[in-house]
């Protein structure tokens, strides 16, 4: 997979115009390699770790100045990657950054692959695998809650929980192995089955957090549906807290769909504003309606709006029942501010997109559709399929061990189950990891992380 003995470089900030851009470099000999490129009071290789220098970056070939920069030096092992490393803060001009990167690549540095800095940090023991994965989650968190949960993992809280479970299993393994190694002692020590039981419960507890973790990582899709002019685009704008969608009394104004992320009390929600469902209209609108149905089929929840001044149209009740049979559906009676509004039928939430009346209740109702959201304040949450699969294997091995114990199976059989359980936990933290797993984890990172 990746080479580890060379020097890598990447832009750590997004491409584009900005006041400052940060370029990151790491690898053995990286400071020496920067010496000919940096003009300042000191050479990078003579600087202490955690020190800064102001100077100019130059092209060593032509002597041409590339930018005025601030250079931060990190010395192994006290850097993010555990290697000698540098961070160059330069001006955030795409053309300038491109020139610097090109020069670095021509003078001893290789462009880093996605996640390569974090991979090196992991391989150098600076992070365990749960923390390395958390780096990615922190960077891509969409709401404050998702961010906090990822930070907890980055802090090592998941690793600490896993280590505590592993310790329990290890102490049983020790008991079993003593008896296996010294059978001649002939004293039957009972095995601490309660520790295996406890470990299994704790693994179950972590597994139960998977749905919470996934909810905060991936978010949910909520679709606004209803007939044309019901107020879907108005509600979309209310949720977005800005005028994103075009609102008008012309039927069929929204012909395609719009989507946008919102935070629903911390839960990332991808909200869709769709073309209204009605028969007729022109072919473009018909295509919009086909897409609406397509999006509806992937929705985690639907908010169905009815124009309260018009009331339910023919066949609409049947449509609401049909859509609601497949996923949670919240029926909403919109335009309650209008004088001509009809009384809302049973079960409809009264709403006015114009005045905002009923919006808080709608948000509350939508939030309750996702009961896992309550776990958002949890200390530790697992969120990757990889972690879940390993935990399932661990739990199954522990249960297998308990079963063997209760059947009076020989102790070696129990030892095998316990070792399997330990190994599954070791996979989560990265003590035992296959290359393909690492490849999969780090390849989804952004470059420069
Ligand atoms: N009085 C009143 N008019 C509304 C309300 N919500 C939307 N409208 C109006 O209804 C029309 C259609 O709204 P729009 O959001 O475009 O509906 P859509 O076709 O479902 O997207 C527009 O003229 C809006 O101003 C509301 O709560 N009260
Ligand atoms: Mg619309």
- How does pLDDT run across 26-50, given as a tens digit for each residue? 999 999 999 999 999 999 999 999 9
**Looking at 369, 392, 412, which one is the last position of a domain?**
369
Cα gap 86→31, rounded to integer Å: 7
At 394 the pLDDT is 97
Residues 204, 226: one domain? no
Residues 105, 12: one domain? yes
Domain with 361 in it: 219-369
Q: Give the CATH number, domain containing residue 198.
A: 1.20.120.430
Instruction: Let me know if residue 407 belongs to a domain.
Output: yes
Residues 250, 321: one domain? yes
Residues 256, 350: one domain? yes
Instruction: Let me know if residue 302 belongs to a domain.
Output: yes
Residues 268, 320: one domain? yes
Residues 118, 257: one domain? no
Q: Which residue CA neighbors atom 19 of ligand 1 most closely?
A: 229
Residue 277's contacts (CB-CB under 8 Å, 6 or more residues apart) are 225, 226, 227, 228, 289, 292, 319
Residues 34, 176: one domain? no
Instruction: Let me know if residue 439 belongs to a domain.
Output: no
- Cα of 298 to ligand 1 centre, how many Å? 25
Instruction: Let me know if residue 438 belongs to a domain.
Output: no
Nearest CA to 448 among 184, 53, 80, 182? 80
Residues 181, 226: one domain? no
Mean pLDDT of 365-375: 91
Residues 277, 401: one domain? no
Residues 98, 197: one domain? no
Mean pLDDT of 88-95: 96
Binding positions for GTP: 229-234, 248-254, 273-276
Cα gap 390→370, rounded to integer Å: 26
Q: Give the CATH number, domain containing residue 303.
A: 3.40.50.300
Of all residues in the chain, the percent with pLDDT exceeding 70 is 92
Instruction: Let me know if residue 349 belongs to a domain.
Output: yes
Summarised one tens digit per residue, pLDDT across range 205-260 is 999 999 898 899 889 999 999 998 999 999 999 998 876 666 777 676 666 778 89
Cα gap 446→449, rounded to integer Å: 6
User: Domains in the chain: how many in total?
Assistant: 3
Indicate the SS3 state at residue 296: helix
Binding positions: 24, 87, 126, 229-234, 248-254, 273-276, 449
Residues 83, 115: one domain? yes
Arithmetic mean of pLDDT over the chain: 90
Residue ranges around ligand 1 (CB below 6 Å)? 226, 228-234, 247-249, 253-254, 276, 334-335, 337-338, 352-354
Instruction: Let me know if residue 437 belongs to a domain.
Output: no
């Amino acid at each position: 997979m990746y080479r580890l003995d060379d020097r890598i470089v990447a832009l750590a900030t997004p491409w584009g115009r900005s006041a400052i851009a940060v370029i990151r470099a790491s690898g053995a000999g990286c400071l020496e390699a920067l010496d000919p490129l940096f003009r300042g009071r000191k050479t990078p290789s003579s600087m202490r770790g955690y020190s800064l220098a102001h100077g100019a970056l130059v092209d060593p070939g032509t002597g041409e100045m590339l930018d005025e920069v601030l250079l931060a030096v990190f010395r192994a092992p006290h850097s993010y990657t555990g290697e000698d490393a540098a961070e160059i803060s330069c001006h955030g001009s795409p053309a300038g950054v491109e020139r610097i990167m090109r020069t670095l690549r021509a003078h001893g540095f290789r462009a880093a692959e996605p996640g390569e800095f974090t991979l090196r940090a992991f391989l150098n023991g600076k992070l365990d695998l749960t923390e390395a994965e958390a780096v990615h989650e922190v960077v891509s968190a969409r709401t404050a809650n998702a961010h906090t949960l990822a930070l907890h993992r980055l802090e090592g809280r998941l690793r600490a929980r896993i280590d505590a479970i592993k310790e329990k299993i290890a102490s049983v393994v020790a008991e079993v192995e003593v008896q296996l190694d010294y059978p001649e002692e002939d004293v039957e020590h009972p095995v601490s089955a309660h520790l295996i039981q406890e470990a299994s419960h704790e693994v179950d507890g972590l597994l139960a957090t998977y749905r919470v973790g996934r909810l905060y990582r991936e978010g949910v899709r909520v679709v606004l549906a209803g007939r044309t002019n019901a107020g879907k685009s108005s509600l979309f704008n209310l949720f977005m807290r800005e005028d994103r969608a075009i609102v008008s009394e012309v039927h069929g104004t929204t012909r395609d769909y719009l989507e946008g992320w919102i935070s629903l009390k911390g839960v990332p929600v991808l909200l869709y504003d769709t073309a209204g469902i009605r028969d007729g209209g022109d072919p473009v609108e018909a295509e919009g309606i086909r897409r609406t149905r397509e999006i509806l089929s992937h929705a985690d929840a639907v908010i169905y709006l009815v124009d309260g001044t018009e009331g339910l149209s023919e066949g609409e009740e049947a449509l609401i029942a049909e859509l609601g049979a497949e996923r949670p559906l919240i029926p909403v009676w919109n335009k309650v501010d209008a004088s001509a509004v009809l009384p809302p039928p049973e079960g409809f939430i009264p709403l006015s997109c114009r005045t905002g009346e009923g919006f808080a209740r709608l948000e509350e109702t939508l939030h309750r559709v996702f009961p896992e959201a309550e776990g958002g304040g949890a200390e530790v949450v697992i969120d990757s399929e990889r972690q879940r699969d390993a935990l399932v294997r661990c739990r199954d091995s522990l249960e297998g061990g308990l079963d063997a114990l209760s059947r009076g199976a020989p102790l070696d059989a129990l030892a095998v189950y316990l070792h399997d359980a330990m190994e599954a936990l070791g996979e989560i933290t990265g003590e035992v990891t296959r290359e393909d797993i690492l490849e999969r984890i780090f390849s989804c990172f952004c470059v420069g992380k």
